[in-house]
Amino acid sequence: LATFPGDHSIILLRSANVRRISTHDAYSTVFPPSWNTGAAEDHRLLRRRSPAPIQICPRTMSLPHSEGHGMSEGDNADFLKVCDELCYELSSLQELACRGAWRSILDKVAQARSRSLLSKPHEHLVYLAYNAIALTKLRRFSEAVAELELVEKGLDIYRYEAYPHHYPNRHGSMAPFVLRWLYAELPSRIGKRQESLDRFYMLLQFIREKLAKNLPDASRAVWRKREGLVINSIISHHLSHKEFKVCLDLIKELINHDLTPVARATLMTKLGYIQMQYGDLDGARGTFNGIEGIVTEGKGEIVMQNLVNRNKALMFLVEKDYVSAVMEYQKCIDRDVSDVIAINNKALCLMYMRDLSDSIKVMENALERIPTYALNETFVVNLCSMYELAYVNHSDIKKTLGSWIARVAPDDFDTSCTRI
């Protein structure tokens, strides 16, 4: 529910500026505008064109919630049964979360609490976690902070051995890790960045104390993933304030861990993005070349091949070689039609080549074909920016888009991205 692998880059258009952001964190760096006087005049001409009727997506379109989970129907039923054995109606909470029905989760948690349906301590913590996640997804950060403050004496007091009548022969913490992560992250959402950083560094120390112990391999692997999550969260906070030195130190530390080729290539990609943000293009190019070597040595899975092509395209984009960038992004799309990063960035390259009509078609087609991937705020704000450049009646077109989004989007979708 909160991952920051740093393995994708997406271009975000705001007026005449282009920004690159990670698809998993909310921090960005501004690239210099590439518009010139002639291009600006061309955009004014495009606004005078009479637009064709907009046909974005079928009226019957919905968001399937089981797409891409990799489970057969029988396996999924077994999984849901296990969930319910662990906690009261946990499968229902999980199902609602997968559908993005965060308001329904809030209602379900409130109902369970008011009817005293939660009988064990760990069930209260699980429902607390889902409630805090839902409030965070809905951007009700102050309420999420207040929710976590209900745990007055901290999470560490919730241990199985403290409740032997409920959990005989069990020991260890029953607190979901997401509560620890939210406890660190939420202060930054209400203007307390330094408090968030302090808590993240304390959480990192807590994780490393766990890793220093003699853990079973499976448990060690879980804590390693948590360490990576927290370090990436810290990097995102430092990156938002252009504190590049500490970002480089942290990401290089992660890369030096014993990683799979895929994980190493993913982290090196993030390293390349950081290098680009402080202007070290030669360093970024060298990092990306190293990734290409890793992918060549491996099995060459589609996701890794696309990672290499997106990195190449990003270098071309910075050099304003938009034709070459489009070619690299198209290779990604040919391999994986759901690569929304490549689709979005290809459309923006077409726009900078003054082919605004085709750039809009690329994005509209993606919303129609792969709505579960393409329906995110960054993608929509880019499309709406293109409408503003292309059409005189862009307000009507954006209202049509907004009406469709209201029918199919999850609860946490920020509809202000349509800029109506």
Q: Where are the domains of the chain?
A: 39-63+303-420, 65-191
Residue 43 pLDDT > 50: no
Distance (Å, rounded) from C-alpha 12 to C-alpha 361? 17
Please check whether residue 10 is in contact with residue 378, taking contact to mean a CB–CB distance below 8 angstroms.
yes
Q: How confident is the model at residue 293 (pLDDT cuts 50, 70, 90)?
A: confident
Alpha helices in 212-260 (DSSP H): 217-240, 244-255
Q: What pLDDT is attached to residue 241? A: 94
CATH architecture for segment(s) 39-63+303-420: Alpha Horseshoe (1.25)
Q: Using one digit for the tens of pLDDT, what is the confidence trace for 70-96?
A: 455 556 566 656 666 678 788 899 999
Please check whether residue 289 is in contact with residue 271, taking contact to mean a CB–CB distance below 8 angstroms.
no
Please check whether residue 21 is in contact with residue 27, taking contact to mean a CB–CB distance below 8 angstroms.
yes
Q: Using one digit for the tens of pLDDT, what is the confidence trace for 371-389?
A: 999 999 999 999 999 999 9
Residue 184 pLDDT > 60: yes
Residue 161 pLDDT > 70: yes
Alpha helices in 353-408 (DSSP H): 356-369, 371-374, 377-390, 394-408
Residue 6 pLDDT > 50: no
Question: Which one-letter amino acid corresponds to residue 299?
Answer: K
Distance (Å, rounded) from C-alpha 342 to C-alpha 313? 9
Identify the CA nearest to 235 among candidates 392, 54, 25, 16: 25
Q: What pLDDT is attached to residue 405? A: 94
